[in-house]
Amino acid sequence: MVIKSIKLKNFRCHEEFDFEFKKKTSVIVGENGSGKTSVLEAIYEVLRGKSFRATDGDILKRESDFYRVEVKFSNGERVVVLFGDSESGEKKKQFLVGDKKTARLPKKNRYPVVLFLPDDLHLVSSSPTRKRDFFDRILSEIDDSYSSTLNRYEKTLRQRNDLLKKYTEDDFEEVSSVVFSWNLLLAKYGMEIRKKREKFIAEMNERLTKTYRSIAENEDEVFVLYKLQGEEVSENEYFKRLESELRRDLILGHTGFGVHRDGYEFLFNGSDANGSASRGEVRSIILAMKFIEAELIFEKTAKRPVVLLDDVFSELDEMRQKALTRNFKDNQVIITSVEMSE
Ligand SMILES: Nc1ncnc2c1ncn2[C@@H]1O[C@H](COP(=O)(O)OP(=O)(O)OP(=O)(O)O)[C@@H](O)[C@H]1O
Ligand SMILES: [Mg+2]
C-alpha cells in the first residue's frame, strides 16, 4: 500500500495544504512551526483512526468549524476524515472509506505505521510513563487484541480511580463491595497485558543486540528489561493484592498496584543504559528497536508499515542515516525536516 497524496483543510495551521508523495521516500521541508508534524499527524489519523498527540478539538484550526483530511492511495482507494458540527450541535468525527461513512476507522482499513518522533531519541532516560506508552504503541500496532485489552484495562482503572477519589477511608465497606468486580477485571486484563508485554520484549531481545550491531558495527550487548511492580503473581494473587491494598488506595485516591506501574529499563553491556551508553549509542538502540518494530509488524500482519520520521533523520550521523535507509528500503518513508542534510 502506498500513499499517493494528502489534502488538508483547517487542520491545525493549515487552511489548505496539498502534497503528493513519492513511492519510496518523501521529504517535507519547512521552518519551525510551519506545520510539518501536523502533516504526519494527519497521515497517522487516516491510517490509525486517531492522532498520536492530541484530540480533534486541538487539531481543528482556530476559528474554523470543521477540518478535513483526504488521503488517496495508489490502488485508487480514498479515505476522508471529517470533523465538525453535526445535527445535534456537537462536533463529530466521521470517516469516509470509499463511499461508506463510519464513526470510527474500520479495522480492515487500519494500516500499520512506524512512527519516530524527536522525543523517542530520549526514550532511554525518559519517564516510566513515556516508556510504557512507547512500548504500548508498538504492541498495539502488532496485536489488535493487545490494544483492546489495554483499553478495557484503562477504562476499568479510570472507574476505580474516580471512585477512590470520591470516597474516603470511612467508606471502606461500601467501596469494597463496588470495586470487587473491577478488581477481578483488572487482574484478568492485567495478567493478559503482562503476558503479552513479556512475550513481546522477549522477541525484541532475541533480535536487539544483532540489529544494534548491524547499525553500529561494534560488539556491545543491548537488552530491554520489563520490570514488574513487585513479585511475579498469578491472576488470583494479582486480584488479592488489589483487594488488600484498597485501604491504602482510598487514602491515596488512586490504584497503586497494577500493570500501569510496570516499567522498562535498557541494559547496555549489562548496566543501565541511562548513564552508561553515549548519545550515539542510545540513538542506535532506538533505531534498532524501530527496525525490529517494522520487522515484527511485517511478520505478524504481512504488511509493510508506513514509516513516519518526524525531524529525526537530520539528527542522525551518516552511518545511522545509511542504516535507516537500508532497513526501510521496502517501506514507504515520509520524513519531515527543518533542513535536509546531504
Ligand atoms: N488548532 C490549531 N489552530 C491553528 N494553529 C495551530 C493549531 N494547533 C497548532 N497550531 C500551530 O500550528 C503550527 C504547526 O505546528 P507543527 O507542530 O505541525 O509545526 P512543525 O512544522 O512540526 O514545527 P517544528 O519544526 O517546530 O516541529 C504551530 O505554529 C502551532 O502553534
Ligand atoms: Mg514538528
Domain boundaries, the chain: 3-109, 121-303
CATH fold of 3-109 reads Rossmann fold (3.40.50)
For 138-181, write each residue's pLDDT tens digit.
Answer: 999 899 899 999 999 999 999 999 999 999 889 999 999 999 99
- Cβ–ligand 1 distance for 12 under 6 Å, the answer yes
> Longest Cα pair distance anywhere in the chain, in angstroms?
67
Ligand 1 atom closest to the Cα of residue 64 is 3
- Residue whose CA lies nearest to ligand 1 atom number 25: 32
Closest ligand by atom to 36 CA: 1
C-alpha cell at 333: 518513508
CA distance 92 to 109: 20
CB of 253 shorter than 6 A to ligand 1: no
Instruction: Tell me which amino acid residue 323 is.
Output: A
Ligand 1 pocket test, candidate residues 9, 38, 52, 67, most atoms within 8 A of CB: 38
pTM: 0.92
Three cell numbers, residue 29: 521541508
Q: pLDDT (tens digit, 0 to 9) for every residue of the chain, 342 residues total?
A: 899 999 999 999 999 999 999 999 999 999 999 999 999 999 999 999 999 999 999 999 999 999 999 999 999 999 999 999 888 888 999 999 988 999 999 999 999 999 999 999 999 999 999 999 999 999 998 998 999 999 999 999 999 999 999 998 899 999 999 999 999 999 999 999 999 999 999 999 999 999 999 997 889 999 999 999 999 999 999 999 999 999 999 999 999 999 999 999 999 999 999 999 999 999 999 999 999 999 999 999 999 999 999 999 888 999 999 999 999 999 999 999 997 655
Does the domain at residues 121-303 carry the CATH identifier 3.30.110.70?
no
Over the range 4-22, which residues count as b (16 or more CB within 10 Å of their CB) and which as e? bebbbbbbbebeebeeebe
